[in-house]
Amino acid sequence: MALDDTAYPEIRSAVRDICAGFGGGYWREQDRRRRYPAEFVEALTKAGWLAALIPEAYGGSGLGVAEASVVLEEIQRQGGNGAACHAQMYVMGTLLRHGSDEQKRRYLPRIARGELRLQAFGVTEPNAGSETTRIQTTAVRKGDRYVVNGQKMWTSRFHQSDLMLLLARTTPYDELEDKTRGLSVFLVDLREAGDRIEARPIETMINHSTNAVFIRDLEVPLEDRIGDEGLGFRYILDGWNAERILIAAECIGDARWFVDKATAYAKERVVFGRPIGQNQGVQFPIARSHAATEAADLMRWRAARLFDAGRPCGPEANMAKYLASEASWDAANVCLDTHGGFGFAAEYDVERKFRETRLYKIAPISNDLVLAYVAQHVLGLPKSY
């Protein structure tokens, strides 16, 4: 099979069919009103795409990251925004890999059917973003439960989740020799949390349901801890490669959308008596963006193949996320330049997509930290952070 933008044609065409019901006007309206695209997410859920990575034994489709990445790429390429629901695909990975049989049986089939939404992921805090091991939210064991106190920042899709995966400190930082230990992961049932958790929406540059979350004396039963106490950071790290690959695919979808849009406009817009695309100053940046996108896509496929074969893929997944987010940001700027003043008009969707794709140079991990990882773990340079 050719690993390019024709791979998995059936998945592409099925996702395109769904996206056809949610055109630019729909996304502009959600963006303008800062509204969660509930109907779009519902349509994807009903069609089973958000259960792509859940094994068939638990009611999912049992597909690989390669196939799942095509779903997200295609949403972005059609001008949509998969950020509203991409986490429903991958947050459950921590439960799948490290949860007990009982936890998996209890939750995964209902997540696969879309009855339970597990798409909130509480890791980042006001004082701990890139440096995850510094988180301060505590979970103190009291008999058969933990009592959680603290604050999370940027917890996206909180109000659109029934369950939240929460990383909290179970051993004080100063008592640890190995600072990557002492954190644990919990599956928090938000429907039962009542006033123990308060989420305050953060107004942002993009339409993204994200929140500051305040947790006061929240009781979490022991049975809702995932895996062993103290190994939570490792469990979360395990899930990051899948997330990086899926985000890379979204960026590639965005980049292709920008390149297509810029190309079409450069052919039709006539200035000084000829199409602007006849000028090398206009066509070369578009061609360069296309080349950068195709190159990033090769790294995405390499990472996805390794991941699906169960082989280590940290360098490839990180490099795919880096290359793809840089390519989509470059393509966004080229597309805006190509459109001149019209790029700023909302009805062209360029300014919306421009804002949306910018996120991926910063989140879920900033590209600086990706470079620090490559420098240290791939090239053997001294740790810089």
Ligand X SMILES: Cc1cc2nc3c(=O)[nH]c(=O)nc-3n(C[C@H](O)[C@H](O)[C@H](O)COP(=O)(O)OP(=O)(O)OC[C@H]3O[C@@H](n4cnc5c(N)ncnc54)[C@H](O)[C@@H]3O)c2cc1C
Q: Would you tell me which residues interact with ligand X (CB under 6 A)? A: 121-124, 129-130, 154-156, 204, 208, 210, 359, 362-366, 368-369, 372, 384-385
**Rounded to whole angstroms, what are the CA distances from 151 to 81, 142, 306?**
28, 20, 36
Q: In angstroms, give the least distance from the CB of 373 to ligand X.
A: 11
For residue 184, the SS3 value is strand
Q: Between 61 and 367, whose beta carbon lies closer to ligand X?
A: 367
Task: Find out whether 369 and 322 touch, Cβ atoms under 8 Å.
Answer: no
For residue 281, the SS3 value is helix
Q: In angstroms, give the least distance from the CB of 164 to ligand X.
A: 10
Q: Between 4 and 131, whose beta carbon lies closer to ligand X?
A: 131
Q: In angstroms, give the least distance from the CB of 145 to ligand X.
A: 23
Q: In angstroms, give the least distance from the CB of 143 to ligand X.
A: 29
Q: Between 92 and 359, whose beta carbon lies closer to ligand X?
A: 359
Q: In angstroms, give the least distance from the CB of 100 to ligand X.
A: 24
Task: Give the relative orientation of helices 232-268 and 350-358 as an angle to the nearest 10 degrees.
Answer: 150
Q: In angstroms, give the least distance from the CB of 293 to ligand X.
A: 23
Q: In angstroms, give the least distance from the CB of 155 to ligand X.
A: 5
DSSP secondary structure of 291-329: HHHHHHHHHHHHHHHHHHTT---HHHHHHHHHHHHHHHH
Separation of alpha carbons 80 and 37, rounded Å = 10
Q: In angstroms, give the least distance from the CB of 23 to ligand X.
A: 24
Q: Which residue in this structure is represented by tokens 């879920």? A: 364
For residue 217, the SS3 value is strand
Give the burial class of 184: count Cβ atoms within 10 A of its Cβ; 0-12 exposed, 13-18 middle, 19 or more buried.
Answer: buried
Q: Between 60 and 364, whose beta carbon lies closer to ligand X?
A: 364
Q: Between 289 and 328, whose beta carbon lies closer to ligand X?
A: 328
Q: Between 81 and 289, whose beta carbon lies closer to ligand X?
A: 81
Separation of alpha carbons 299 and 139, rounded Å = 39
Q: Between 125 and 297, whose beta carbon lies closer to ligand X?
A: 125
Task: Find out whether 174 and 183 touch, Cβ atoms under 8 Å.
Answer: no
Q: In angstroms, give the least distance from the CB of 347 to ligand X.
A: 24
Separation of alpha carbons 116 and 327, rounded Å = 35
Q: Between 344 and 385, whose beta carbon lies closer to ligand X?
A: 385
Task: Find out whether 54 and 112 touch, Cβ atoms under 8 Å.
Answer: yes
HSE on the CB side for 369, CA within 13 Å?
A: 12
Separation of alpha carbons 213 and 209, rounded Å = 12
**Rounded to whole angstroms, what are the CA distances from 15 to 76, 104, 315?**
11, 28, 29
Residue 270 identity (one-letter amino acid):
V
Q: Between 45 and 210, whose beta carbon lies closer to ligand X?
A: 210
Q: Between 165 and 327, whose beta carbon lies closer to ligand X?
A: 165
Q: In angstroms, give the least distance from the CB of 359 to ligand X.
A: 6
